[in-house]
């Protein structure tokens, strides 16, 4: 898929990797122009974030799009950003090199597991409901523990859970099939494949993955710089960011 195939209004995310930290900036396509697309420019504390500025020379920019009604996610890596002006407003023009015009299927490329400790419940095809504790989740599967010895391997069931990410509450029901079950000392660890899920599951996993990486990077940065003052000109861009 090429950038020009995106439609106005489609949800996108500009991912900025800078100083070892990942900053996902959610937006939507403003319009398609020539070899790229335009999105609204972002501001922090009233100041424009000009990603074409030399201060961001070491940053990497990846551009994600949610397509097919949010059922799939694709990415263009190392995009080029130019600042544009139209109707007294500022925009980023996102484009790619001739060698990277086609997107990558992001879901298959980075099927990373996110660690969780989240209460949920499963409902079997024969109507029984059991409480479980989710341990991890990816685009293709979920791991959870269950106290009761239930026959779940090769069986279909629904898993329901609710979680809040970045101020948004995600209530998700996914259809799964059990793949394996391992007996622990006090419970059973179950791994299952996701067979069918709502489109917001991709958004949920994406933001949980990014927040997990950001948390790890910030912890490492804090440990390395504990007791030190922030270097002049080296500031975080994560908080207080928005577009207008």
Q: Are both 9 and 28 inside the same structural domain?
A: yes
Out of 108, 138, 162, pick the residue that ends a domain.
108
Q: What is the pLDDT of residues 57-68, one digit of tens each?
A: 888 898 988 766
Looking at the structure, tell me whether residues 161 and 93 fall in a common domain. no
Q: What is the pLDDT of residue 171?
A: 95
Per-residue confidence (pLDDT) for residue 208, from 0 to 100: 86
Confidence of residue 236 (pLDDT cuts 50, 70, 90): low
**Each residue's pLDDT tens digit, 111-138:** 567 888 999 999 999 999 999 999 999 8
Return d(Cα 155, Cα 219) in angstroms, integer.
Answer: 40
Same domain, 84 and 164: no
Task: Identify the CATH number of the domain in which residue 52 sits.
Answer: 2.30.110.10
Q: How many domains does the chain have?
A: 2
46, 8: one domain: yes
Q: Are 62 and 78 in contact (CB under 8 A)?
A: yes
User: What are the residue ranges of helices labelled H in the chain?
Assistant: 106-109, 200-225
Same domain, 62 and 100: yes
Q: Take residue 120 and report the two structure tokens written for it.
A: 């949920």
Q: How confident is the model at residue 200 (pLDDT cuts 50, 70, 90)?
A: confident
What percentage of the chain carries pLDDT values higher than 70?
77
pTM for this prediction: 0.50
């Amino acid at each position: 898929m090429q950038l020009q195939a995106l439609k106005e209004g489609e949800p996108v995310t500009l991912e900025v990797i800078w100083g070892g930290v990942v900053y996902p900036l959610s937006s939507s396509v403003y319009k398609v122009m020539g070899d790229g697309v335009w999105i609204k420019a972002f501001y922090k504390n009233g100041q424009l974030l000009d990603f074409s500025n030399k201060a961001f020379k070491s940053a990497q920019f990846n551009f994600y799009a949610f397509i097919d009604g949010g059922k799939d996610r694709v990415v263009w890596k190392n995009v080029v950003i130019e600042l544009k002006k139209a109707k007294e407003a500022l925009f980023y023009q996102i484009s790619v090199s001739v060698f990277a015009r086609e997107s990558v299927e992001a879901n298959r490329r980075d099927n990373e597991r996110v660690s969780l400790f989240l209460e949920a419940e499963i409902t079997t095809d024969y109507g029984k409901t059991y409480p479980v504790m989710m341990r991890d989740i990816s685009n293709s599967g979920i791991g959870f523990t269950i106290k009761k010895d239930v026959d779940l391997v090769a069986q279909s069931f629904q898993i329901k859970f609710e979680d809040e990410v970045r101020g948004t509450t995600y209530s998700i029901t996914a259809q799964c099939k059990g793949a394996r079950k391992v007996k622990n000392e006090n419970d059973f660890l179950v791994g299952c494949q996701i067979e069918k899920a709502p489109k917001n599951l991709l958004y949920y996993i994406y933001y949980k993955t990014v927040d997990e990486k950001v948390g790890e990077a910030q912890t490492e940065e804090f440990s390395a710089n504990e007791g030190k003052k922030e270097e002049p000109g080296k500031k975080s861009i994560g908080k207080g960011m928005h577009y207008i």
